[in-house]
Amino acid sequence: MTTKDELDAAVQQAQVAFLAARGAEPDTRAGWLEAIADGLDAAAGELVPLAQAETHLAEGRLQGELKRTTFQLRLFAQEVRRGEILDATIDHADESWGMGPRPDLRRMNVPLGVVGVFGASNFPFAFSVMGGDSASALAGGCAVVHKIHEAHLQLGLRTAEIVVTALAQAGAPAGLFGAVTGRDAGEALVDHPLTTAVGFTGSTRVGRILADRAAARPEPIPFYGELGSINPVVVTSQAWAARRDEILTAYVGSYTLGMGQFCTKPGILFVPQLDEDSTQVLRETVAGTDPSPMLTTGLAEGFLHARSAMAQRGLTEIVPGGQGEAPAPALFATTVDAAVQDPAIVREEMFGPASIVISYRDEAELTRGVELLEGQLTTTVHAEPGEQLDELVDVLAARSGRVIWNSWPTGVTVSYAQQHGGPYPATTAPGTTSVGTAAARRFMRPVSYQGFPESSLPAALREDNPLAISRRVDGEWQLAGGAK
């Protein structure tokens, strides 16, 4: 475990490295991200078995996750080179500006400083040591101190070593990335005066405790927590009539995937009615799944506790589910009426292989059910061609960061238009995403330079655009390469 003095030293060193790296060209910084990606790819043969041993996740899944992780680093490198994360904006001096003469003003995003990142248990690569938070903070020009999750400590320590070595070989300042362990170090990291922001992926309970801690500092800092989500799925009556069994089979596949240990697991399926036939389809599909041990015994215990608490709310147990460290998937059924009586039914997350099928009688009742929902990472609708569901989609969009049409929430691509976030309790910062290229903006803030001589402006804001990046100039976009 990292002592308080060691934590302080890591943050201090990160600050020194942050300052030393401040002047690095975008191309240099992008090269650091690529060096980390190369280092991790080269170590796949060592890292994947380490992850298997600590997480019980399958080799194929872990290889895919590592591929996602290094792809993400390279995509951020590309965004850094393109200058997209800078949001460079130029207003030339304008004597005739409508409210009175305007000075020359040029704005770009600058890095915040040292960022604290907390790894998640359920993605040992993609949301851990060099996951989305670390990658986006480094892309934004920050230094990172990462608190390794106890659930995969050896993997975390080894990954951190590889990252540190890769950065050193690429010429990055020592300390630009550091790793610490233990709860005390995590708390001290949130409290440290030099920490400027925190990225966190984990439970609502722990996330809220740390968010409150960040807000209570003498100098409060942004806390980007990706917390809990139920990820409700709505099946329209037309879709239900057209392809009920196909939907139910895919639903079971999605909620049991990876033992339900995804933040995007569909925890609720709204359906028009659940007769004996469809119940039988569900029972058979669940029976065909192959339970594996959960990530940790603590998570398994927490899941069984949450499942049991849900059962006590009077739901029908379609499939009771198993016990132990590898519990067989469970499935509940209830009605919108019951959820209206007891909204906790649609608000308590069961992190693991369990989900609830909720029957609605008509569209008005469906709306009542959906309106009970708190903030979500995702909402989903299954509908037939030609169905116009604008009102329903509005209600879903008002409660989530991503609305999915005729697919399933598990599976979160890393791209330009991705939004992995949502209103509380899905996240503590609804305006931001923790996946996709926009994630880097969380760890930057805008600075305007007013009346600067050309030679003293940052390169991104110089008149001759030496970085050849896209910028908004006097309100009009000017694309990279001079096209307009």
Query: For residues 46 and 68, what is the distance between their CA atoms, to the nearest angstrom?
Result: 17
Closest distance between its own copies and the C-beta of residue 275, in Å?
28
Cα 337 to chain center, whole Å?
33
User: Which residues, 6 or more positions from 225, have their beta carbon under 8 angstroms from its beta carbon?
Assistant: 198, 200, 201, 202, 207, 208, 210, 211, 427, 428, 429
- Residues between 443 and 482 with contacts to its own copies, criterion CB under 8 A: 444-453, 455-456, 470, 472, 474-475, 477, 479
**Of 160-168, 346-354, 364-372, 409-417: span binding its own copies (CB under 8 A):** 409-417
The HSE-up count of residue 325 (CA atoms within 13 Å, CB side) is 7
Tell me which residues in 296-325 interact with its own copies (CB under 8 A). none
Residue where the block lists tokens 């790296």: 21
| Three-class SS state of 94 | strand
Q: Does 404 bind its own copies (CB under 8 A)?
A: yes
Site for its own copies in 64-83 (CB under 8 A): 64, 67-68, 71-72, 74-75
Rounded least distance, CB 132 to its own copies, Å:
12
The Cα–Cα gap between 426 and 375 comes to 5
Amino acid at 318: I
Verify binding: residue 388, its own copies, rule CB under 8 A. yes
- What DSSP element (H or E) covers 165? helix 153-169
- Which phi and psi angles does 330 have, rounded to 5°? -120, 155
Does residue 112 interact with its own copies by CB under 8 A? Answer: yes
| C-beta closer to its own copies: residue 71 or 150 | 71
Name the segment binding its own copies (CB under 8 A); options: 25-33, 146-154, 309-317, 416-424: 416-424
Please confirm, yes or no, whether 476 is among the known catalytic residues. Answer: no
Q: Are strands 195-201 and 114-118 parallel, antiparallel or unpaired?
A: parallel
- Interaction with its own copies in 2-31: which residues (CB under 8 A)? 22
* 246 assigned to active site: no
Identify the active-site residue in 34, 65, 79, 226: 226
Kindly state whether residue 89 participates in binding its own copies, applying the rule CB under 8 A: yes
Cβ 393 to its own copies shortest distance, Å:
6
Q: Select which of 65, 142, 263, 365 is catalytic.
A: 263
Q: Which element (helix H / strand E) includes 450? A: strand 444-450
Pairing of strands 143-148, 177-181: parallel
Where does this chain touch its own copies (CB under 8 A) — which range of 131-139, 209-217, 276-284, 309-317? 209-217
* Nearest distance in Å: CB 431, its own copies: 5
List Cβ neighbours of 223 (8 Å cut-off, separation of 6 or more).
Answer: 190, 197, 198, 200, 210, 211, 214, 215, 428, 429
| Residue of 252, 414, 439, 440 that binds its own copies (CB under 8 A) | 414
Instruction: State how far the Cα of 343 lies from the Cα of 369, in Å rounded to an integer.
Output: 9
Among 9, 16, 105, 326, binds its own copies (CB under 8 A): 105
Question: How far are the Cα atoms of 19, 241, 338, 382, 412 from residue 237, in angstroms, in the given order?
Answer: 59, 6, 20, 9, 27
In angstroms, what is the minimal distance from the CB of 413 to its own copies? 5
Task: Give 22 or 205: the residue with its C-beta nearer to its own copies.
Answer: 22
Q: Which residues form the catalytic set?
A: 226, 263
